[in-house]
Each structure stands twice: as structure tokens, then as C-alpha cells.
Amino acid sequence: METCGNIGLGLKKKKEMGRRKLEIKRIQDKNCRQVAFCKRRQGLIKKANELSILCIVDVGVVIISKNGTGRLHEYSSTNSVTGILQRYESHVQAEKEISGEHSMYSSMKIGELLQTAERQLEETNADGHTVTDLIHLQNELQTSLTQIRSKKTQLMLETVKDLLEKEKQLREEKKILKNNRARMKKKRKK
């Protein structure tokens, strides 16, 4: 019968000096797998807590076991994992909106540039263009592209500014909620 030593934990030793490298593979024995899961889950949560304290960040860990039970294990450095997930979703949504606006604006301007270039080419015979005309057209296109890039950068900076203001507001709200929670705890103790 297999024991829950290194081999039982799905780890295979490689011969090296100093710190050993271990090959990770699936643990076959169900009991050994459960023991390893519990130990590693505790280690992961400990690391998440340390990261939260050392770097002053909000950390959320969600673990859903794959076995038939599908048990849920969670850790949050703040009040709840739900709050962290909601903040994550709002950031993802804001990024999608920003990228959507920029791509729409850029594609609109590029379309206008293409129409302008096509109009100018149709107005004169392609064989009748002089080098000077083509250079002039190229300069106009480059100027338009520079203006589009400038406007895009400006929109991105404004969006970042808005997001920073939202973050500041959320931090203030969080501080107020923490203070209210602390007051409520003090009242309960009395």
C-alpha cells in the first residue's frame, strides 16, 4: 500500500544538490490526495494573508473542490470575497467600456481618412499624380493620424482620471463603512 510520503503526494524526487526540485503529478490515493489538499489549502490561505498584510492589498481566494461534493473554500482579507469579486467585475466592465469607446472612435476616424483618400484619388487620374501631389497626400494622412492618436491618448487619460476618482471614492466609502462597523461592535459590547 502506498504511503502519504513524497511519492504518495504525487511528488517525484530529482537528484540534485541543495534545494530539491519536485515533479508535480496527480496523487492517485484518495486519502493522501485529501491530506495534501488540506495542507496546501492552508498554505495558500496563509500566503494570501501574508500578501495582504505586507503589501496592503485586498486578497480573495476561492477554491472549489472537483470531487463529487464540489465544496467551496474561500478566504478574504476584507469583509467578504463577494465584495472583492464585485470590485473585480466593475473594473473589468469599465475596461471593456473604455476599449469599446476607443476602438469605435478610432475605426470611425480611420474610415473617414480612407474615404478622404479615395475621394482625392478619384478626383484626379492615378497616372496624372505627381510626386509632389502624393507627398502632400501622405503628409495630410500622417497629420490626421497624429490628431487621432492625440485624441485617443486624451480620452484614455480622461478615463484613467475618472477611474482614479472612482477608486478614491470607493476607498473613502470603505473607510466610512469600517468606522461604522467598529462603532457597531463597540455598542454591542456595551
Lowest-confidence pick of 4-18, 99-113, 162-176? 4-18
Task: Map out the domains of the chain as residue ranges.
Answer: 11-55, 102-189
Distance CA 181, CA 188 (A): 11
Instruction: Give the model's confidence band at 125: pLDDT under 50 very low, under 70 low, under 90 confident, else very high.
Output: low
- Provide mean pLDDT across the span 173-179: 91
- Provide mean pLDDT across the span 109-120: 69
pTM score over 0.85: no
Query: What number of CA atoms fall less than 13 Å from residue 181's CA on the CB side?
Result: 8
Distance CA 20, CA 14 (A): 7
